[in-house]
Amino acid sequence: LRGFLVPRPQPTRSQGAPSPRLSLHPAHRNELGQGREEDNHSYYVSRLYGPSEPRSRELWVDVAKANRSQAKIHTILSNTHRQASRVVLSFDFPFYGHPLRQITIATGGFIFMGDVIHRMLTATQYVAPLMANFNPGYSDNSTVVYFDNGTVFVVQWDHVYLQGWEDRGSFTFQAVLHRDGRIVFGYKEIPMSVPEISSSQHPVKTGLSDAFMILNPSPDVPESRRRSIFEYHRIELDPSKVTSMSAVEFTPLPTCLQHRSCDACMSSDLTFNCSWCHVLQRCSSGFDRYRQEWTDYGCAQEAEGRTCEDFQDEDHHSASPDTSSSPYDGDLTTTSSSLFIDSLTTEDDTKLNPNAGGDGLENNLSPKTKGTPVHLGTIVGIVLAVLLVAAIILAGIYISGHPTSNAALFFIERRPHHWPAMKFRSHADHSTYAEVEPSGHEKEGFMEAEQC
């Protein structure tokens, strides 16, 4: 992994890209009553409830009353500053149409929703009720609590203080992930105006973001590939509306990914330009987390000018037997099955079935299995594996008996202490979340840019 960049691609509307204006805009805002607003963001509909709305209190999840076996105080996050830790959900949570089972909770008031951990967790792929420079380690009363009952997952930043602004009071807020895809931001105590919070040491954001990752050849090392992240959608809430006893509810809208058949995909009336990729059996606009596969398999070119009937005709012709052959020349079902099995057979499987031709299929399907000769390569592999294990054991014995040797010092300096957690480091130009690494082994930077 060489590093991460966030270029700004310029997709056209014909490619199925969402509207380039993704933040709240008065044109998309409906006033639904005193203290309540609604906005449509293509992927979600957000509803903001002010302190006077009863719904804001209904959406708040009282973690203190939760079952002790379901609510847990994260001791590491509750006692540190600028750190993050992974948590596995008990259910698949649909985020922008993608089912997620693992998330990353950060002390900075947000949840990282990406699959690949990198230093700039604050840049993209987040659920941020209030992203800021919070320091739970400042006070013994500050905790980061999470709650999971199988249908809802709650993260609560309880009585946390802003670094350098401790005299302004503590913040208490939460993010709630519902199994049906709804996301709720609940704010119980917001002691100061959010626009006043400085972003010089840490980004200040409220909203959602998602991105897709593309592998590109590295210019420095041609044989390696660099991962580049493209943010294809972002929702930015008005920070001035984040006040005590307010709440925001995000209801997911249908996406192309929900369609499981070509007919449903091509007849979709969504605002996205959905296309069907027959190779992947997937419906997509081309702008989601499966972008890499979409481009690798040429799905955009495959779908041009094609209909579902065209794909069905191709399947019919490819599955049809040779009509010039007589029905009595052979078993057509066996021939078709043989071709299918050969297409799924790996190189190693072929070596284990040297009689694949002729009656090879009959031999493979027979309940009486025949003895398979042991290959020289298999024996050599087993011997090498045994020698490798023995070498590792001997090296461990030597290192433990000679802790001051060069070899022992080499491994001690490079051993991973906390793989699941990421330590936050501040740089002069920007702040970054980084994996715990030995000194002198920093990864390349992650440049934040505007969304697509």
Taking the C-alpha atoms of residue 27 and residue 238, their distance in angstroms, rounded to an integer, is 14
pLDDT at position 328, please? 32
d(CA 350, CA 438): 45
Rounded Cα distance between 439 and 210, Å, is 31
Mean pLDDT for the chain overall: 75
Model confidence at 418: pLDDT above 80: no
Give 30-51 pLDDT, tens digit per residue.
554 456 788 888 899 999 999 9
pLDDT value, residue 252:
96
Query: Regarding beta strands 205-217 and 126-131, do their DSSP bridges make them parallel or antiparallel, or are they unpaired?
Result: antiparallel
Q: Which residue has the higher pLDDT, 333 or 430?
A: 430
Which of 117-126, 215-224, 226-235, 410-419 has the highest mean predicted lDDT (pLDDT)? 226-235
pLDDT score of 354 more than 60: no
Q: In terms of pLDDT, which residue wins out, 22 or 72?
A: 72
Q: Which of 70-74, 170-174, 271-275, 392-396 has the lowest mean pLDDT?
A: 392-396
pLDDT of residue 64: 85
Structure pTM?
Answer: 0.67
Give pLDDT, residue 353. Answer: 31
Most confident of 69-83, 210-224, 297-311, 330-344: 69-83
* pLDDT band at residue 336 using 50, 70 and 90 as cut-offs: very low
Q: 266-291: per-residue pLDDT in tens?
A: 888 888 889 999 999 999 999 999 99
% of the chain surpassing 70 pLDDT:
65
Q: In this predicted model, which residue has the larger pLDDT, 12 or 259? A: 259
Q: In what order do the strands lie in the sheet with 29-33?
A: 29-33, 36-40, 44-49, 247-252, 183-189, 171-178, 152-160, 143-148, 71-73
Whole-number pLDDT of residue 321: 44
The answer on pLDDT for 385 being more than 60 is yes
What is the phi/psi pair of residue 161, to 5°?
Answer: -115, 150
pLDDT band at residue 403 under the 50/70/90 scheme? low
The answer to whether residue 154 scores a pLDDT higher than 90 is: yes
Residue identified by tokens 């330590």 is 423
* pLDDT over 80 (residue 101): yes
Return the SS3 of 112: strand
Q: What is the mean pLDDT of the segment spanning 172-195? A: 97
Least confident interval from 73-82, 260-269, 291-300, 420-429: 420-429
Residue 404, Cα to own-chain centre: how many angstroms? 42
170 by DSSP, 3-state: which? coil
Measured distance CA(90)–CA(388) in Å, rounded: 38
Q: Is residue 119 a contact partner of residue 443, using CB atoms and an 8 Å limit?
A: yes
Q: For residue 304, is pLDDT > 80?
A: no
Does residue 408 register a pLDDT over 70? no
Residue 431 has pLDDT above 50, yes or no: yes
Give the pLDDT of residue 449.
Answer: 37
Name the band, by pLDDT with cuts 50, 70 and 90, for residue 417.
very low
pLDDT score of 121: 81
Of the candidate ranges 65-69, 105-109, 160-164, 219-223, the one whose mean pLDDT is the lowest? 219-223
What pLDDT is recorded for position 441?
Answer: 32
Residue 306 pLDDT = 78
Other CB atoms within a 10 A radius of the CB of residue 357 amount to 10
Percent of the chain with pLDDT over 90: 48
* Range from 86-90, 186-190, 398-402, 408-412 carrying the lowest mean pLDDT: 408-412
Angle (nearest 5°) at CA 146 between 143 and 152: 150
